[in-house]
A and B are shown apart, each in its own frame.
Chain A
Amino acid sequence: MYVAVKGGEEAILNSHKLIAEERRGDPAVPELTLTQIKEQMQIAVDRVMTEGSLYDRDLAALAIKQAQGDLVEAIFLLRAYRTTLTRFGETLPIDTAKMAVRRRISAAYKDLPGGQVLGPSYDYTHRLLDFALAAEEGAGEPQAEEAAETVAEAMPRVTEILNHEGLIEEEIALNDEEPVADLTREPMEFPADRDMRLQNLARGDEGFLLALGYSTQRGFGGNHPFAGEIRLGEVAVEFAPEELGFAIEIGEITVSECQMINQFAGSAERPPQFTRGYGLAFGHCERKTMAMALVDRALRARELDEVIEYPAQDEEFVLYHSDNVEASGFVQHLKLPHYVDFQSELQLIRSLRRRHTEETLEAAE
């Protein structure tokens, strides 16, 4: 039964006013600008774009400001905004081999062509709070070093190096004419193919994927991973407008990519060889792409004839629970009035208790 309850309009209105005041904070402190968020909270912006599944730095910055820095709320705002936009079509697949690389490391090969380029990273910091940033005058204008040369033009993928020896499974585009699964237009279906899984993981919650990836490392579906290659940089986005008939570059996006290399003992059909897990995300989201690559590999259990016994290998478990917009909505809907439901539960529990008392009394007689 559903009973509409009126009232509370003024309370809601005043709650909006109160949250607006709280969001602004102390008016004596200058208000944050979107440019400041975009320039100085870049990694938060990147997470919101990735999980909001919309590449637009300005909108992500606005969402972060509006949500008072609550990134899951900001992701929700971006997803909701997305539904107001017309879709012009699909791009050509981005080519990460042609990335303008700013970071590229491999934990599998020390001396690989193109070298280990650390790029911007917190990995090699001591994780000590830097009180210089807390100083009144701020960070000033730090200057990065500039080498005389640019990074090597040719940066072969580590997976290609292994390919030469046939030691790793190849990723081949078998049929580019096949329709590509799209969760923005169709519901999830099981068994889910890799295109659907990767789309789901790409916009999945970083915390959820991090925990699942971690679980595989701790033995809940382990497959002995190596970070074959991690890249960060800019790639061109090519789109073929139908009125033009050929593809043009319409912009450039920053992406993070992780190629995870995993052990595989072989099956009836396949010789022992390394297998792959793939992570890709908008912006600088390295931890996310590593977790995604671990979970992608774990979810390939069915295809690789592995026994499915752990949560990270269970595609329904993973794919149905990875989306923080859905998860947050369902968990938080518990806050909505359930007065009538609760009244019926109350009646039920009272009648059960009455019967329990009667039965206890009867048994005692």
Chain B
Amino acid sequence: MEATATQAAGPGDPAQAARRRWMSVLAKAQLTELEGAWEQLPEKPDYAWLRAPEVGMVMVRARSGGTGGQFNLGQMTVTRCALRLGSGAAGLGYVQGRSKRHAELAAVFDALMQDEERRPDLEDGVIGPLEEAQGQRRGTRSRKANATKVNFFTLVRGENA
């Protein structure tokens, strides 16, 4: 696998943090959303596989008591791929589940986002809206949960009531 611009960067590096964010947003997006974003791309890039989509799994780790020593909780299906655009940028897709198309589109947008000229438009047109949609889904779930929060009240009895 060839190096990408951000690979050499250390933790805390803004370029790495930026790529980490968009790759995470792309992985958690729904396939229909990504297909929609692909459809709306004004110019669709050509690309060649560095690694064709492959379905596999990762072992999900957890910690005893939430904070203690690690243990293996169980595995999870993951699909990965890597590709290179005609422009030379390499994109990587690692997404939960078994959708090869999801991994492919995640990798395409990852590669496109590395082009600093295209990035602002893609941020406004793709990554930003995807992130917002994820936030909204999370918000709805959370508000529904919050409607089930218990409001305890105490019946005050006795002379000083």
> Inside 8 A of A364's CB, which chain B residues have their CB?
none
Say yes or no: B74 contacts A282, CB within 8 Å. yes
Do A85 and B55 contact each other (CB < 8 Å), given the known contacts A241-B94, A257-B66? yes
Kindly report which residue of chain B lies nearest to residue A246, judged by CB atoms: B16
Say yes or no: A248 contacts B71, CB within 8 Å. no
Say yes or no: B61 contacts A90, CB within 8 Å. yes
Partner of B74, one of A55, A117, A248, A249: A55
Kindly report which residue of chain B lies nearest to residue A276, judged by CB atoms: B65
Contact with A along B53-97 (1 / 0, CB 8 A): 011111111111111111111111110101000000000101111
Instruction: Write the nearest CB–CB distance from A116 to chain B, whole angstroms.
Output: 4
> Inside 8 A of A100's CB, which chain B residues have their CB?
138, 141-142
Do A250 and B58 contact each other (CB < 8 Å), given the known contacts A56-B97, A58-B98? yes
What are 25 A-B interface contacts by the 8 Å CB criterion? Answer: A54-B75, A55-B75, A55-B76, A56-B97, A56-B98, A87-B56, A89-B59, A100-B138, A117-B145, A117-B148, A144-B144, A151-B149, A171-B63, A171-B67, A172-B68, A180-B70, A184-B72, A195-B70, A198-B62, A202-B71, A237-B96, A243-B82, A248-B20, A251-B96, A280-B62
> Inside 8 A of A178's CB, which chain B residues have their CB?
69
Enumerate chain B interface residues (CB-CB to A < 8 A).
1, 4, 7-8, 11, 16, 20, 23-24, 27-28, 54-78, 80, 82, 92, 94-98, 138-150, 152
Say yes or no: A151 contacts B145, CB within 8 Å. yes
Is A150 on the interface with B (CB-CB < 8 A)?
A: yes
Compute how far the CA of A159 lies from the CA of B63 in the bound complex, rounded to whole angstroms.
14
Instruction: Write the nearest CB–CB distance from A146 to chain B, whole angstroms.
Output: 4
Say yes or no: B7 contacts A278, CB within 8 Å. no
Is A149 on the interface with B (CB-CB < 8 A)?
A: yes
> Inside 8 A of B63's CB, which chain A residues have their CB?
93, 171, 173
Partner of A88, one of B16, B23, B78, B149: B78
Kindly report which residue of chain A lies nearest to residue B63, judged by CB atoms: A93
> Inside 8 A of A322's CB, which chain B residues have their CB?
none
Partner of B72, one of A50, A58, A181: A181
> Inside 8 A of A103's CB, which chain B residues have their CB?
145, 148
Given contacts A85-B57, A199-B73, A234-B138, 18 further A-B contacts (CB under 8 A): A49-B74, A55-B77, A56-B76, A59-B98, A85-B56, A116-B150, A194-B71, A198-B62, A199-B71, A199-B72, A202-B73, A203-B74, A237-B60, A239-B94, A246-B11, A250-B95, A253-B76, A255-B73
Compute how far the CA of A54 lies from the CA of B69 in the bound complex, rounded to whole angstroms.
22
Partner of B66, one of A116, A244, A259: A259
> 6 closest A-B pairs (Cβ-Cβ)?
A251-B96, A171-B65, A171-B68, A243-B1, A249-B24, A150-B142
Say yes or no: A252 contacts B148, CB within 8 Å. no
Kindly report which residue of chain B lies nearest to residue A249, judged by CB atoms: B24
Compute how far the CA of A35 lies from the CA of B150 in the bound complex, rounded to whole angstroms.
33
Do A87 and B64 contact each other (CB < 8 Å), given the known contacts A149-B146, A150-B143, A203-B74? no
